Amino acid sequence: MGILTSHMQEVIAGQRLIFAATVCPDGTPNLSPKGTAQVWDDDHILFTDLASPGTMGNLAANPSIELNVVDVFLRKGYRFKGKAAVHGDGAVYDAVLERMRGGPASLQRLADRVRAVALIRVESAAELVSPGYWGGATEDETRQEWQSYWDARSAEWRERERAAGVSGANGE
């Protein structure tokens, strides 16, 4: 068995947005959101380059990377550290595009825009848990709190769209 447990793989599969930290050539940090992260196998996570010239340039100069994957409702997740290999063509690139074309519609629409694939060999993995749990909150309480928060934000966004005469994503 590899470093990625079945629970880690489930958490990655369940999140549509993760964050990738790389190191710029001048030594400063770069944090970039990624919406195409996938588990490749028990030791690798990948994401695609759709609009990530900074991230890919950083990885070309220094392959060190950290990925943070956090469930926004549970406020729990994982931190994965490793080294990335960038594939702009070849077997890995082709297999990822094939997987995207056979996946959810959100990935199918993006497959033809992929410029490269960052394949990360995970060297260490650590749990991330919000300090909100320190006071004794349960997962159910935390989920309910953040669900309510995002429900309220969504209602505010819909109201702003209505007031501006903008059609929302749900056809309103």
Domain CATH code at residue 125: 2.30.110.10
Tell me whether residue 146 is in a domain: yes
Contact 46, 37 (CB under 8 A): yes
Contact 48, 110 (CB under 8 A): yes
Averaged pLDDT score across all residues of the chain: 94
152: buried, middle or exposed (CB in 10 Å: 19+, 13-18, 0-12)?
exposed
Residue 6 predicted with pLDDT over 70: yes
Contact 86, 60 (CB under 8 A): yes
Q: What pLDDT score was predicted for residue 167?
A: 67
Tell me whether residue 170 is in a domain: no
Q: What pLDDT score was predicted for residue 166?
A: 80
Q: What is the pLDDT of residues 46-57, one digit of tens each?
A: 999 999 999 999
Residue of higher predicted confidence among 168 and 49? 49
Tell whether 53 and 91 lie within a shared domain: yes
Residue 137 predicted with pLDDT over 60: yes
Tell whether 101 and 119 lie within a shared domain: yes
Q: What pLDDT score was predicted for residue 104?
A: 86
Tell whether 109 and 72 lie within a shared domain: yes
The Cα-based distances of 143 to 23, 93, 102 in angstroms read 33, 37, 31
